[in-house]
Chain A
């Protein structure tokens, strides 16, 4: 039995299980509050959750039966695909309750965007730290041993080693700068590229919390990457508790914000949405609207914000995501 795969299954399955309950919309469709609270809507959510539970059960059974790990990504992928298909099917049923007025866009001159003073420091500080590490490494190049650890397990023990090269010494730092750029792009997108919302509303709190979370993760990862970047010069592996502390703080940060965001998402709010139903594709999961200049819009399924894939900047962003994903494979394979 692969317990990590089982954990991933329960985590992903759990997220899909609770997704419909985390939203004011009904399977991504804008409906009236009366419909959202109706027995019919609650019955739809229950039917979806029951079907999703069966899918989780069968996938868990299959994970317990397989003898080779080769099948695990396929089984987990199939579970997610089934959950998405269920979501799309329920959304089609929910469309008959859709509010008809989505062609009327409204706003108010009294709306507000999140105000986070000195937000740019959350990008500048990590980038400067990483640049400082790169400078320090270049000044002490001769002291870097010919062979140094390039990968650690969760307990901080080195489990892979590499030969001294510019690619391996500076690779993590380049990855760090790209990651900081990605997170910074999202944070500034939330502050300047989303619709403004009512002052004091749950939507404004959610936008602000999302942006603050990204800025804190930027700072946290910046410190971690600058520290790990110095490893080639260090005689010993980092202590296990240091790695555990970094990872623990990161997860605690994310968990605290997710709980806060789930509470906010369920609160009633009449801030304008201004996203046409027809622009929500793939069962309401993907927003594609070339006419809408917003870079990020509030999700219809789940919590938080999603990219407007019709926006010109969405494709450079996807390129950056691909680069950040593929770079570690190129550097450390």
Chain B
């Protein structure tokens, strides 16, 4: 398996399982993890990261609910060939719009210009074209 790095900041306000989900999702969207690849089991990844089993189990469960992973008792954790979902639900779009507004406000609050925010958002979206 490629040398993809995962890290968890235990002093961050973001829950540890959420940090793991976010990093895996980035790798999955960017295509660095491809369908059929096997990920470390819950116990193995928890030992490697030095976090509780439940933290990793919760992260894998979330990714499985999103359709990225196949996670079942006694079987290897495998990346699924996920059919691209259609963003047709109005409330889903509204939810993301609100989260983006919050993020943009936070970036502006840290002193980034409108141009810089646009550039960063575009670069992030372009970087995840798969």
Q: Please report A residues at the B interface, Cβ cutoff 8 Å.
A: 103-111, 193-196, 272, 274-276, 289, 291-294
Contact = CB atoms under 8 A, between A and B. Distances in A.
Contacts of A289: 50
Among B5, B39, B53, max chain A CB count under 10 A is at B5
28 contacts: A103-B11, A104-B8, A104-B9, A104-B10, A104-B11, A105-B8, A105-B49, A106-B8, A107-B5, A107-B7, A107-B48, A108-B5, A108-B6, A109-B6, A109-B39, A110-B2, A110-B3, A193-B47, A195-B47, A272-B48, A274-B48, A274-B49, A291-B50, A291-B52, A292-B50, A292-B51, A294-B47, A294-B50
B1 A110 contact: yes
A274 B50 contact: yes
A109 B1 contact: yes
A193 B48 CA distance: 9
B46 A293 contact: yes
Contacts of B8: 104-106
Given A107-B6, A109-B2, A292-B50, 18 more contacts: A103-B9, A105-B8, A105-B50, A106-B7, A107-B7, A107-B48, A107-B49, A108-B3, A110-B1, A110-B2, A195-B50, A196-B47, A274-B48, A275-B50, A289-B50, A291-B50, A291-B52, A293-B43
A150 B48 CA distance: 47
Question: Looking at chain B, what size class is its interface with the partner chain?
Answer: 20 to 34
B51 A105 contact: yes
Contacts of B43: 293
Nearest to A102: B10
B45 interface: yes
A32 B128 CA distance: 35
B26 to A, nearest CB: 13
B40 interface: yes
A109 B20 CA distance: 12
Contacts of A106: 5-8, 49
A110 B4 contact: yes
Given A104-B7, A104-B8, A107-B6, A195 B48 contact: yes
Contacts of B51: 105, 291-293
Nearest to B56: A293
Contacts of B50: 105, 195, 274-275, 289, 291-294
Among B3, B5, B8, B47, max chain A CB count under 10 A is at B47
Nearest to B24: A109
Contacts of B7: 104-107
B97 interface: no
A272 B1 CA distance: 17
A106 B46 CA distance: 11
Nearest to A104: B9
B22 to A, nearest CB: 15
Nearest to B1: A109
B4 A109 contact: yes
A287 to B, nearest CB: 11
B49 to A, nearest CB: 5
Nearest to A110: B3
Contacts of B6: 106-109
Interface in B1-40: 1-11, 39-40
A274 B4 CA distance: 17
A300 to B, nearest CB: 14
Contacts of A274: 48-50
Given A292-B50, A294-B50, A107 B45 contact: yes
Counting from the closest, the 10 A-B pairs by CB-CB distance are A274-B50, A110-B3, A107-B48, A106-B7, A103-B11, A103-B10, A109-B4, A109-B1, A293-B46, A294-B47
Contacts of B119: none
Contacts of A111: 48
Contacts of B52: 291, 293
Contacts of A107: 5-7, 45, 48-49
Nearest to A199: B3
Interface in B78-98: none
Nearest to B10: A103
